Chains A and B, each alone.
Chain A
């Protein structure tokens, strides 16, 4: 089963709606609670990254009994130094985003921590695609 969504850049009113919809689907399908929690955290962080850094993008969520694969594709600025971006506390968020309480530098580190597999395809000036895999019975919180 596949669902696709649009995330709107710098729109802090809609921000979180896509991860909310994905959570509702996960609960309706009956995935285990611990997996839903990890999916909630990772999708929310990935969605917020798109809102804050990439002027939005597209989300494709594929659901199967074995795993949920979430692809977040944007045409934003790309990540210049992936190692830095994966460090807790490091952020390039704008002043506006920080004033709204975002930009804590925990986005990618949390996505890595709570996912069972993470692939990051990024190119400066072209965009970033995150592929997040979450499995029932995967890593524990």
Chain B
């Protein structure tokens, strides 16, 4: 799908009451209230899922596939569970009931994304020592970070780790193995990722470094978890068949990737506000002595994704405990490592630019400031913009929609244009 057409978050319009909760919390000011309903500006959305989390009416939804749409669509279907899935269930000690349960639900095979994460970790370790990416290397497994860098920190694009994500690698790898095993053509094999967050879904739609995704579908942890719970009874809760080790599974918790890569000179941060501060610091040259920066939009890492069901900290604690019982990772052969590098370089986004022409951009910026200065600065949101400054920006850049400031009804947007 074309990047400009795709909106990762959509509004269930009958549920939305226009309360401004999502608009006030959106970290990139991508939401406005228009005609009493929330509207997402697709080019600014980083798919972090904060609006999904905070909407009291559950009107914001991620664009994900439904299980019924993907199961049975291919001759052979592989489940690719995100590591965060393992931490969702209160009653289990190991991941065996999850992996076996997915088979019971109708998947022909389960391939742990954690296994691919271990290969990406090893490659990153090598990249740090021998690669040409300027340090600190900025990890890219969190698609929100990728989107945010393109929009707000384009000068940091050269620092991005230009590897495909474990999710994407798991799809390529498992399809190849399954095709060999079953004799089926690769296109008859469906690879379905079980995702903790909307950003992963967005990342296969408008992939930034990958030309064409190898995934055939993405379903949410929130949909899968209760269905899994229902089929888990009676599955032996012991670590049995070959699994990935703690290194790969630990990626679900903030700091896990740096640990798996084996780089101790790192900065690890999670949560939108923190990661924005770290990106600012990186831009200011403050982290020049650091080798690796691991950022995730959710706290504490992917276990806190907006499409999970368990409390993120409980899920993280459970996962840590589970990991203590893991054996060493079991090497899986034939990972298509030659296919790990992105095939395209992400271009900076021009979303924040006020005008193509610098002089006109300056004029607009002055007008925005003058208008914003005339507003009360309460950021009440009643006009449908998240702040007085955003209201002024919308008015001057022509994004306005005739809304007025309730405190300055004499300042309609259309007069300012």
Task: Please tell me if B348 contacts chain A, counting CB pairs below 8 Å.
Answer: yes
Chain A, residue nearest B356 (CB): A30
Tell me if A25 and B365 are in contact (CB < 8 A). Answer: yes
List of B residues within 8 angstroms of A30 by Cβ? 350, 352-356, 358, 361
Chain B residues near A20: list those with CB within 8 A: 280
What mask results when residues 270 to 300 of chain B are scored 1 for a CB within 8 Å of chain A, else 0? 0000000000100111100000000000000
Cβ–Cβ contact A40 & B365, under 8 A: no
The complex places the Cα of A71 from the Cα of B243 at a distance, in Å, of: 60
| Chain B contacts for A16, CB-based, 8 A | 280, 284
Q: Does B359 contact A (CB under 8 A)?
A: yes
Which residues from B are CB-within-8-Å of A72? none
Are B352 and A28 in contact (CB-based, < 8 A)?
yes
CB distance A40 to B361 under 8 Å? no
Q: Provide the residues of chain B in CB contact with A37, threshold 8 Å.
A: 155-156, 283
Which of B155, B280, B285, B358 is A110 in contact with, Cβ under 8 Å? B285
B152 within 8 A of A: yes
Instruction: Kindly state the separation between the CA atoms of A19 and B285 in the bound complex, as whole angstroms.
Output: 12
B154 at the interface (CB under 8 A from A): yes
Q: How far is the CA of A69 from the CA of B67 in the complex (A)?
A: 57
Q: Which residue of B lies closest to A47 (CB)?
A: B284
Q: For the complex, count residues of A whose C-beta is within 8 A of B.
A: 24
In the complex, the answer to whether B285 meets A63 with C-beta atoms within 8 Å is: no
Contact B283 A23 (CB under 8 A): yes
Which of B155, B284, B354, B358 contacts A33, CB < 8 Å?
B155
**Secondary structure dominating the interface of A:** helix
Contact assessment for A65 and B155 in the assembled complex, using a CB-CB cutoff below 8 Å: no
With both chains docked as a complex, state the minimum distance between the C-beta of A73 and any C-beta of chain B, in angstroms: 21
CB pair A44–B358 under 8 Å, yes or no, is no
A13 contacts the other chain (CB 8 A): no
Contact of A65 among B285, B354, B358, B365 (CB under 8 A): B358
Tell me the interface secondary structure of chain B in the complex. helix
Q: Do the beta carbons of B284 and A44 come within 8 Å of each other?
A: yes
* A29→B285 contact, CB < 8 A: no
Interface string of A8-48 (1 = CB under 8 A from B): 00000000100110010101111101101100110011000
- Assembled-state Cα–Cα distance A40/B282 (Å): 10
Contacts of B152 in A (CB 8 A): 27
B362's contact among A1, A23, A33, A45, by CB below 8 Å, is which?
A1
Q: A27-B152, A33-B155, A33-B157 are in contact. Are A19 and B284 (CB under 8 A)?
A: yes
Q: Is the CB of B365 within 8 A of A36?
A: no
B373 within 8 A of A: no
Which B333-391 residues have C-beta < 8 A from chain A?
A: 348, 350, 352-356, 358-359, 361-362, 365-366
Q: How far is the CA of A63 from the CA of B356 in the complex (A)?
A: 15
* Minimum distance in angstroms from A37 CB to a CB of chain B: 4
CB A120 to nearest CB in B, in angstroms, measures 20
Cα distance A64–B361 in the bound complex, in angstroms: 10
A44 touches B365 (CB 8 A): no
Asked if A29 and B353 make an inter-chain contact with CB atoms under 8 angstroms apart, the answer reads yes
Shortest distance between the CB of B352 and any CB in chain A (Å): 5
The answer to whether B154 touches A29 (Cβ under 8 A) is no
Q: How far is the CB of A59 from chain B (nearest CB, A)?
A: 15
From the candidates B155, B157, B280, B358, name the one contacting A29 in the complex (CB within 8 A): B358
> Which residue in chain A gives the minimum CB-CB distance to B351?
A27
Q: With both chains docked as a complex, state the minimum distance between the C-beta of B298 and any C-beta of chain A, in angstroms.
A: 24
- The chain B residue with its CB closest to the CB of A104 is B289
Contact B285 A1 (CB under 8 A): no
* Contact indicator A1/B365 (Cβ below 8 Å): yes
CB contacts (< 8 Å) of A34 on chain B: these are 155
A16 to B280, CA, bound (A): 10
- Cα separation A25 to B154 with both chains bound (whole Å): 14
A20, B354: Cα distance in complex, Å: 18
A31 to chain B, nearest CB (A): 8
A28 touches B361 (CB 8 A): yes
A33 to B285, CA, bound (A): 14
- Interface hub of B348, B358, B366 (most chain A Cβ within 10 A): B358
CA–CA, A28 to B351, complex, Å? 9
Is the beta-carbon distance between B154 and A33 smaller than 8 angstroms?
Answer: yes
Closest to A23 in B: B283
| A36 to B, closest residue via Cβ | B155
- Tell me the minimal C-beta distance from B243 to chain A in angstroms: 42
Chain B residues closer than 8 Å to A23, beta-carbon distance: 280, 283
Q: How far is the CB of A24 from chain B (nearest CB, A)?
A: 9
Could you write out 25 A-B pairs with CB less than 8 Å apart?
Answer: A1-B365, A19-B284, A27-B152, A27-B353, A28-B361, A29-B353, A29-B362, A30-B350, A30-B352, A30-B353, A30-B355, A30-B356, A30-B358, A33-B154, A36-B154, A36-B155, A37-B155, A37-B156, A40-B155, A44-B286, A45-B285, A65-B358, A65-B359, A110-B285, A114-B285
Question: Which chain A residues have a beta carbon within 8 Å of chain B's beta carbons?
Answer: 1, 16, 19-20, 23, 25, 27-31, 33-34, 36-37, 40-41, 44-45, 63-65, 110, 114
- Please name 4 further chain A to chain B contacts, defined as beta carbons within 8 Å, in addition to the given A28-B365, A30-B361, sorted by A numbering: A34-B155, A37-B155, A44-B285, A64-B358
